[in-house]
Amino acid sequence: MTGSTPSSVDMNEALLLKAQFPGLAGGWHYLDTAATAQKPQAVIDATINAMGRDYATVHRGVYARSAEMTLAFEAARRRTAAFLNGREDEVIFTRGATESINLVANTWGVDNLKAGDRVLLSTLEHHSNIVPWQLLRERTGVQIDVCPLTEDGRIDLDAAARILTPAHKLVAFAHVSNVLGSVLDVRRAADLAHAVGAMLLIDGCQAAPRIALDMIALDCDFYVFSAHKLYGPTGIGVLWARKPILDAMPPWHGGGSMIDRVTFEKTTFAPPPQRFEAGTPMIVEAIGMAAAIDWLCAVGLSRAEQHERDLASRLRAELRRRNDVTLFGPEDSAGIVSFALDGVHPHDLGTILDEEGSDGTRIAIRAGHHCAQPLMDHLGVPATARASFGLYNDESDIEALLKGIERTRRIFGQ
């Protein structure tokens, strides 16, 4: 493979990996992993067994299967904590990264942010890392500042250093941009935030599937991600936060499981993480996420990152040869390539690519604003086409996309 290194996935292994994904049968070229990853058979099997052969409730039953399922559920939490190099009691299961950010905003944010305080976001944030803070602004009067980007589409940490003041209580940045693939220097962002007494929240949705994570080394205060982007099921995500922070945070949802004792006069609450997991939890999904983490770690995060960077670099090089394509983002994109084809709306390109060609080829890309409309405004476009890679992709997917672009040009008579 062009640009491969000894740590990357070679062509033969990519084919073997692709064979593990039933959703890719029939030669479908799937280039929308940044939206959601396809699932390997190991994860599908784990969720089927958890929903069928092994299913029972957790934390409540005294019968054997319930006890066994409880052990499996909490083992999934331990596995997730190890994946993050964090503590087991620092891992909260949520419905996804969006709910994780909303949980922080509605607990820690409500308790700690007031009129006159400031939150620093960046131009490239996903809507899920913008809207919760805007809603909090309406409730508390906190102000929002926006950190600009460098010319090649990275969060400008030099600018952040100039912007930050002691009035800033929270910095919330994406680890990897879902549009540009640019990677944040999280440790430097943490140092800058902590220097003015602010907390740092990191949206790790695009980083978790391809970058080895270490909460101690990164030194952030909150880290969130969704399982479905790292080859796991939908409906579950993670909020990691330092234990002293969680201990001080009030509950958000009320119900079963998150209580110590309930009377009509007063309720006392369980310690974290149970305090933030009201009701019957996502049992099957947690076990599926743990299986996805096992599968991904068996392949290797460093190999995943290198493989996807290689493919993104190859695609950028091929698109750069055309005089009708505008590329966005840095050259060393982490597996994501956003571009615009002159005279063709991204939605039209995406639709044509999905139509079966003469050779039976169908290609799936993302087209739109990618839940990052402020970034689209910054780029000066209403939308982009986005190709994003996973471990199951190889150069045949790039070749299919390039042929599909040529076919689109012919259809448009250009």
Q: How far is CA 306 from CA 81, 179, 232, 303, 392, in A?
A: 24, 19, 21, 5, 13
User: CA-CA distance, 275 to 252, in Å (whole number)?
Assistant: 8
User: CA-CA distance, 78 to 80, in Å (whole number)?
Assistant: 5
Residue 358: predicted pLDDT: 63
Q: What pTM did the predictor assign?
A: 0.95
Backbone angles phi, psi at 122, to 5 degrees: -130, 165
Selection from 225, 243, 240 nearest residue 293 by Cα: 225
Residue 192: predicted pLDDT: 98
Domain limits, the chain: 11-30+300-411, 44-298
Q: How far is CA 335 from CA 155, 351, 390, 402, in A?
A: 17, 22, 8, 17
Looking at 147, 220, 297, 371, which residue is catalytic? 371
Q: pLDDT tens across 335-382, in order?
A: 999 999 999 999 999 999 998 766 778 999 999 999 999 999 999 999
Helix (H, G, I), strand (E, B) or coil at 10: coil
Residue 51: predicted pLDDT: 97
Residue 60: predicted pLDDT: 80
- Say if residues 178 and 206 touch (Cβ distance below 8 Å): yes
Q: pLDDT tens across 246-275, in order?
A: 999 999 999 999 999 999 999 999 999 999
- CATH fold match for the domains 11-30+300-411 and 44-298: no
Residue 5: predicted pLDDT: 42
Q: Low-confidence residues of the chain, pLDDT below 50?
A: 1-6
User: CA-CA distance, 193 to 190, in Å (whole number)?
Assistant: 5
**Secondary structure in 3-state letters for 75-91:** HHHHHHHHHHCCCHHHE
- Residue 147: active-site member: no
Q: Does domain 44-298 have CATH number 1.20.58.110?
A: no
Residue 361: predicted pLDDT: 83
The strand order across the sheet containing 384-388 reads 325-328, 336-341, 384-388, 366-368
User: In the CATH hierarchy, which fold is given to the domain comprising 11-30+300-411?
Assistant: Aspartate Aminotransferase, domain 1 (3.90.1150)
Q: How far is CA 47 from CA 42, 364, 377, 390, in A?
A: 9, 25, 40, 21
Residue 360: predicted pLDDT: 73
Q: pLDDT tens across 214-254, in order?
A: 999 999 999 999 999 999 999 999 999 999 999 999 999 99
- Say if residues 41 and 50 touch (Cβ distance below 8 Å): no
Residue 279: predicted pLDDT: 94
